[in-house]
Amino acid sequence: MQPRLTLKSVVLCFALACGNASADDSSEVSATEAAAAPREAANLPALEAAAQRGDVPALITLAAVYERGEGVERNLLKSNALWCKAAVRGNAAALLRMGQIYGSGREVMRNEGVASLLIAKAAELGNERAKEILSLISRGVGSVMPECMNERLPEPVEAKPVIKVRGDIAQLVQRWAPEYSIDPALVLALIGTESNFNPLAVSPKNAQGLMQLIPATASRFGVKKPFDAVENLKGGLAYLRWLMSYFKGDVALVLAAYNAGEQAVERYRGIPPFRETQQYVKHITNVYRKATHPYQSDLVAPSGRMAVSFSPAGRTVERSSM
């Protein structure tokens, strides 16, 4: 059986001790990044600016520059901080480097538990050198990351989806949506998601036409020619108008019902836990940002349906027999 070594001895074997790292050591920084460090030292202002923005390649390059002291005064404290910022952002090479730093005690209090935890994280992300080190050491993995890794990263800004609207379809929507008291912007967002403005679209579930009406819904709202753009649009608008009345203008519930059926919304007392439906609602509401929509309260539900009321905040449907 291969003897297991202490973490410090392994780190020393991999030539990090006291920061005396070479261009091909266990930091796993690519050869290109390592070779670039001396050249980049001449462009420190741009590198510093990119690092301030959290750019990982800039953080790694700058960490290597200060680690080696090539073209700048060597500064291991600053190098450590830059490695840590890259590690916070999930860079496996930086996580491994931080593990080596804590394993050797380079300008930090040596802590083998923290070092093992960092190296294990790098190995989880697929870093081969980290896996190699883990296979050699006898360790107790710590549970607390270094304080420098408590940096809170800004929440990613979700880009608003862009839907390419067909001009001829948009004209039809602008013409007919007001006739059914439905906001054209909501209809365009729905059509873009449902059929991508293709009047001949057919889904695997046999939803047909511009607004992807299944045969039962088409029949329910008098659509005889589902691939006729105007007839399909009118049927879909009639269904949306009815759903608006049924769910009292709650856009998310209306969309969930359009995708999964009003019975599913009733059954789950809100947006059903179907991945497709939840993504469908999220996608359209990222385009159409209004949570509520005007509705006609005097529409009579078909026989056997239920009247509904709900709490908009909790998306909870309360039902009562009509």
Q: Which residues are catalytic?
A: 194
Q: Both tokens of residue 299?
A: 């529409």
Query: How many residues are present in the chain?
Result: 322
| Strand locations in 165-258 (E) | none
Question: For residue 80, how far is the Cα from the chain centroid?
Answer: 29
CA–CA separation, 90 and 92 (whole Å):
6
Sign of CA dihedral 71, 77, 82, 84: positive
DSSP calls for 24-80: TSTT---HHHHHHHHHHGGGHHHHHHHHHTT-HHHHHHHHHHHHHTSSS---HHHHH
- Which residues are 311's β-sheet partners? 316
| Burial grade of 16 (CB within 10 A; 0-12, 13-18, 19 or more) | buried
Are 294 and 181 a contacting pair, CB within 8 Å? Answer: yes
CA–CA separation, 75 and 54 (whole Å):
20
Q: Both tokens of residue 213?
A: 């009406």
CA–CA separation, 149 and 89 (whole Å):
9
CA angle 135, 83, 31 (to 5 degrees): 70
Which residue is associated with the tokens 């266990």? 26
Largest CA distance in the chain: 82
Q: Both tokens of residue 171?
A: 């004209």
